[in-house]
């Protein structure tokens, strides 16, 4: 998977004028770890954007908005040709927003407010600030579907998750993974629940959905994506993907095609 690793977006591809900006990032672009004094709302109007912090990774396709609070060190990676819309939220306006990185569904109001902030110049004094206040209110009121993939600190658990990251499609049992990591199946099962807040099977499903989003964004078929990511058949993949993302893989790809890339 080709990638372009840089400390800043490609010259001329990103514009930022407080409180908002936009940029077009190539597939596989990596923005290395950094942090901001203020909060940041990011929306990929096309493509998908992964945000990684010490707490794990959030993947945001075009039907999700990513929130990064002030001071959180994070990195980004783009999947597909990504149209990034960015709104800066000053620290003193972040009180009603989550204290940890998160994602939420792009409601029609969120979408139109993002576009208004990033597509057109400010024609009346204070217009940006008023629109930004609408964005903050709508984000604060929107429920948070979980596209978060937490990462462990326990060495035994990390040995298991590293192996799954390297090959999400493998169907190795937790008992077999545990023997390689030097821990029993029971111990690892407990660690998944206590440290990551979910079962082994749920964590692996989330990992596979993350990879599926990337494959679908790159244009792979639903059937090929299901096979590569470890599902036994397309139907079980469609059910799992829809439960996590909120739309079928086919609808997700159709939405990608309907947006300018």
Q: Which two tokens stand for residue 222?
A: 């639903």
List, in sequence order, every residue forming a beta bridge with 41; answer none if it has no partner: 67, 87
Residue 76: in which H helix or E strand, if any?
A: strand 74-89
Q: Which residues contact 185 (CB under 8 A, 6 or more apart)?
A: 173, 174, 175, 178
How does strand 4-6 pair with strand 29-34? parallel
Note the pTM of the prediction, 2 decimals: 0.72
* d(C-alpha 231, C-alpha 241), whole Å: 11
Whether 97 and 89 have beta carbons less than 8 Å apart is answered as yes
Whether 27 and 218 have beta carbons less than 8 Å apart is answered as yes
- Each residue's pLDDT expressed in tens, for the chain with a length of 261 residues: 344 433 334 433 444 445 677 888 888 888 888 888 999 999 988 888 888 888 888 888 888 888 999 988 999 988 878 888 989 999 998 988 888 888 888 888 999 999 988 887 777 888 889 999 999 998 888 756 567 888 899 999 999 999 999 999 999 999 999 998 999 999 999 999 999 999 999 999 999 998 998 888 888 999 999 999 999 999 999 999 998 887 899 988 887 766 544
Residue 5: in which H helix or E strand, if any?
A: strand 4-6
Q: Which two tokens stand for residue 31?
A: 């923005």
* Residues across the chain: 261
Q: Which residues contact 74 (CB under 8 A, 6 or more apart)?
A: 33, 34, 35, 51, 52, 53, 68, 101
* 195 CB burial (10 A radius; 0-12, 13-18, 19+): middle
What's residue 1's pLDDT? 36
Distances (CA, A) of 25 to 9, 20, 31, 84, 261: 7, 17, 10, 7, 10
What sign does the dihedral 224-225-230-234 (CA atoms) show? negative
* 111 CB burial (10 A radius; 0-12, 13-18, 19+): middle
Tokens 């996590």 identify what position?
Answer: 244
Closest C-alpha among 132, 99, 90 to residue 113:
132
């Amino acid at each position: 998977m080709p990638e372009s690793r840089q400390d800043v977006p490609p010259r001329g591809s990103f514009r930022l004028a407080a409180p908002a900006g936009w940029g077009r990032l190539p597939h596989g672009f990596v923005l290395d770890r950094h942090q901001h004094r203020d909060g940041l709302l990011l929306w990929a109007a096309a493509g998908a954007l992964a945000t990684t912090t010490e707490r794990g990774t959030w993947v945001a396709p075009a039907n999700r908005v990513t929130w990064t609070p002030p001071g959180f060190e994070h990195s980004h990676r783009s999947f597909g040709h990504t149209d990034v819309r960015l709104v800066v939220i000053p620290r003193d306006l972040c009180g009603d927003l989550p204290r940890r990185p998160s994602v939420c569904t792009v409601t029609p109001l969120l979408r139109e407010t993002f576009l208004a902030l990033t597509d057109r110049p400010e024609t009346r004094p204070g217009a940006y600030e008023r629109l930004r206040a609408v964005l903050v209110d709508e984000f604060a009121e929107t429920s948070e579907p979980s596209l978060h993939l937490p990462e462990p600190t326990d060495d035994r658990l990390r040995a298991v998750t590293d192996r799954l990251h390297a090959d999400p499609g493998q169907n190795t049992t937790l008992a077999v993974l545990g023997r390689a990591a030097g821990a029993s199946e029971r111990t690892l099962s407990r660690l998944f629940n206590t440290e990551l807040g979910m079962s082994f099977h749920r964590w692996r499903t989330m990992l596979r959905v993350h990879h599926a989003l990337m494959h679908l964004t790159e244009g792979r078929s639903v059937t090929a994506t299901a096979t590569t990511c470890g599902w036994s058949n397309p139907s079980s993949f469609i059910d799992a993907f829809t439960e996590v993302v909120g739309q079928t893989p086919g609808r997700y790809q159709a939405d990608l095609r309907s947006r300018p890339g």
